[in-house]
Amino acid sequence: MIGPRKATRPARVTRYRGGEVHRQRDALAVEEPLEIRVSWIDGGVRRVEPLAVTMRTPGHDFELVAGFLHGEGIVTGADDLLELTYCRGAEEQEYNVVEARLAPGRGFDLEAVRRNFYTTSSCGVCGKTSLEAVAALGCTLLGDGPRVERSLLAGLPDRLMTGQGVFARTGGLHAAGLFDKDGEVRAVMEDVGRHNAVDKVIGQALLSRKLPATSETLVVSGRASFELVQKAVAAGVPILVAVGAPSSLAVDLAKQFRQTLIGFARDGGFNVYSGPERVG
């Protein structure tokens, strides 16, 4: 039996620098499919159905699945999950299929959930097609949350970088991190998909019974897209900081739910697109 997948893989590369050629070892970020299956009780019988496939970097797969299910409104807390387990099957796929067993009494409308999936330029299985659909998940206006000093907010991307061990070796991963109001790290996760990195962080908080994260700041290494704001709002996160730019729909969603959305957080500065009252 093979063991769990690794996040990196060695490679031989030829480097061309300054007119010189060198053959040397390098490291690649691993990208593999993860199939998410959901099982639940339907009419007294437990059903098992494939829900989605996402391309991800192996590691923290259970957190990824928990965060994904939370973002889609399928689970609201750890008590909704009876078990997360790898599915036995073909040896080469054993650690690429995760089944989430919902707790008895947790309803699940498979077709309704599937109708809400759509394809975007950033990922293949993410979330809601409209602002109204996010509200339909049960998301509510975010509370006041913490007021965070601007100097601390500006330094969070650098603190996120210190937790990106695989990125340091490969240069090929996104990252997401949860930080408290004093800038102390709660969790940092990496993945080839920016949405997966966020799911892993939120999933860890869910499994640790720390949602909603009403006093936390979520920091992402790339841009702030609609689906990332959606996941943060669903998790109750009042402040989202992105190293890159936000999209128009991300800003609209953040404003609708009173989230502080910050973009271009780099070189000691940032832009505030919504919720400036939380910036000290």
Domain extents for the chain? 32-129, 150-278
Chain centroid offset of residue 49 CA: 22
Q: How confident is the model at residue 42 (pLDDT cuts 50, 70, 90)?
A: confident
What's the rounded mean pLDDT across residues 126-153?
80
**CATH topology for 150-278?**
Cytidine Deaminase; domain 2 (3.40.140)
Q: Do the Cβ atoms of 179 and 219 come closer than 8 Å?
A: yes
- Is residue 71's pLDDT more than 50? yes
Catalytic residue among 87, 123, 126, 139: 123
pLDDT at residue 271 above 50? yes
Give the mean pLDDT of the chain. 88
Q: What is the pLDDT of residue 1?
A: 35
**pLDDT(113) > 90:** no
pLDDT at 121: 37
DSSP per residue, 136-165:
HTT---------B-HHHHHHHHHHHHHT-H
Amino acid at 117: F
Q: What is the pLDDT of residue 168?
A: 63
Predicted local confidence at residue 46, as pLDDT: 87
Is the predicted pLDDT of residue 78 greater than 80, yes or no?
Answer: yes
The pLDDT, as a whole number, for residue 95 is 87
SS3 176: strand
Provide the pLDDT for residue 26. 87
- Residue bearing the bigger pLDDT, 111 or 247: 247
Give pLDDT, residue 118.
45
Rg (CA), the chain: 19
Q: Which of 204, 210, 274, 280 is nearest to 242 (CA)?
A: 274
Q: Is 139 an annotated catalytic residue?
A: no
pTM (2 decimals)?
Answer: 0.89
Three-class DSSP category at 223: coil
Lowest mean pLDDT among 19-23, 217-221, 275-279: 19-23
Residue 242 clears pLDDT 80, i.e. is over it: yes
Cis ω for the linkage preceding 4 (within 30 of 0): no
